[in-house]
Amino acid sequence: MRVGPWGRRVATDAGAGGTTPVAAPAPATYVCEQCGAVLAYEPGAQTLVCRYCGHANRIRTVERAPIENELDPVLRRLPPEPPVPPPIPRKCAQCAYEFTLPAGRHAGPCPSCGSPSVADPAAVRAIAPDGVLPFVIAEPDGRRLIRQWLEGLWFAPSRLAREARTGGRLEGLYVPHWTFDAESRSWYRGRRGDVYYETRWVERVVDGRRVRQAVQVPKIRWTPVEGRLARDFDDVLVVAGDELPERLVERLEPWDLQGLKGYGPDYLAGFASELYKRSVADAHEAAKAQMRAVIEQDAKIAIGGDQQVVERLDIALSNETYKLVLLPIWVASFRFMGKDYRVLVNGRTGEVHGERPWSLWKILGAVLLALLVLLGLFLVGRAGSGGLEF
């Protein structure tokens, strides 16, 4: 279950319109204050270090934790938004090239000179990011982790690790996520099942004779149960983008959300960043489903016994808050045997998951080997019991 730790929440501070202002405006350009060279954020750094002269340029961000926003106002007042935001036009401040960021993104390189470009997400989306979790794993380490993952795959084609090379840079992508906090108070009604055994006598044939034997037959004694529960949820995550398969993104959890910074565009310099496609209302429903699954498990634990049936569960949520955060993922794409595959790396923990091909011959070989081992054990057992004559 993809639910984060729970405990005391940060005090809420939401605007009247239910939207979050951008914490800092996007700078016009990313150039070194000392030599004018193009800058990019270095994973794990606290400054924008120039690769040419070594000058440490200050990251422009806000000195505060990401704000928790009250959920009810935004659900009631936020107007409907198109699922895919329009492309954002940009003019490179370094080479003056005019271009458009890919649809659904608000950060990426200039196609002409490669300079970082970060647009204000509030220009095309009603809710701007509250926080960003900066990359700490650099590109070479991301490539190494992907190579190790490919080489360690079971039943993969022998040529995979050799041929599935990324070739160039991996793409560092910030993927938007909604997080939800809530206090829950619940009432449940169900049945507790306790297993007991009854002795029954049955007739069996043993060595050619019919005999009566006692056997223990399991039974279940059901008892009605009801009670109340309380649980506080903190940072229930829901993927807000659609560029990457949601099932793969979810498998990169858990995220160290205690490392979140207040949103600042400098952390995005040199990386791509996706705008949210999933509305906060739709994500809220997905988060409530996660919370319900956890509370159902709480109810079963409270019911106790050997088996549990939850017949009714009434859940009341209060003090609900949300925030929009950007989480770092290295994305590698490769083509093998005419099919495209993607591998993702958690830009904080190094967790790797991805799509992969299978070797039919290796699978068949393993099945055949297992059958031969079972046959060998069967023959040895028969020989030991005197069942084989030669």
pLDDT at 158: 64
Q: What is the largest CA-CA distance in the chain?
A: 100
Chain segment 239-262, per-residue pLDDT in tens: 999 999 999 999 999 999 999 999
Percent of the chain with pLDDT over 70: 82
d(CA 134, CA 347): 8
Q: What amino acid occupies position 352?
A: V
pLDDT of 165-214, one tens digit each?
545 568 999 999 999 999 999 999 999 999 999 998 888 887 778 888 88
What mean pLDDT value characterizes the chain? 82
Whether the predicted pLDDT of 34 surpasses 60:
yes
Confidence of residue 293 (pLDDT cuts 50, 70, 90): very high
In this prediction the pTM is 0.81
CA–CA separation, 78 vs 99, rounded Å? Answer: 30
- The encoded tokens of residue 113 equal 């000179």
Read out DSSP for 98-134? EEEPPTTEEEEE-TTT--EEE--GGGT-SS--SEE--
**b/e map 315-348, b = 16+ CB within 10 Å:** bebeebbbbbbbbbbbbbebebeeeebebbbbbb
Higher pLDDT, 329 or 2: 329
Q: pLDDT higher for 387 or 147?
A: 147
| Model pLDDT for residues 114-165, shown as the tens digit of each residue | 888 899 998 899 999 999 999 999 999 998 998 888 877 776 666 666 655 5
Q: Which amino acid is at 11?
A: A
Whether 17 has a pLDDT exceeding 50, the answer reads: no
Q: What is the model's pLDDT at position 331?
A: 94
Separation of alpha carbons 146 and 164, rounded Å: 10
Helices then strands (H, E): number in the chain? 6, 15
Three state DSSP letters for 327-366: EEEEEEEEEECCEEEEEEEECCCCCEEECCCCCHHHHHHH
Q: How far apart are CA 93 and CA 99, in angstroms?
A: 12
Question: What Å distances lie between residue 246 and 88, 131, 260, 275, CA to CA?
Answer: 24, 20, 21, 15
Reported as a pLDDT band with limits 50, 70 and 90, residue 38 is confident
Residues 277 and 104: beta-carbon distance below 8 Å: yes
* The pLDDT value given to residue 13: 37
Structure tokens at 274: 């996706």
241: phi then psi, degrees, rounded to nearest 5:
-100, 175
**pLDDT band (50, 70, 90) for residue 106:** very high
How far apart CA 143 and CA 148 sit, in angstroms, is: 9
Beta partners for residue 377, in sequence order: none
Please answer whether residues 197 and 221 qualify as being in contact, where contact means their C-beta atoms are separated by less than 8 angstroms: no
Q: Please report the DSSP string for 54-104 in residue order.
A: --EEEP---SSPPPBEEHHHHHHHPPP--SSPPPPEEE-TTT--EEEPPTT
| Residue-range domain boundaries for the chain | 47-181+233-301+318-357, 359-390
Report the chain's C-alpha Rg in angstroms: 29
Lowest mean pLDDT across 13-22, 321-330, 344-353? 13-22
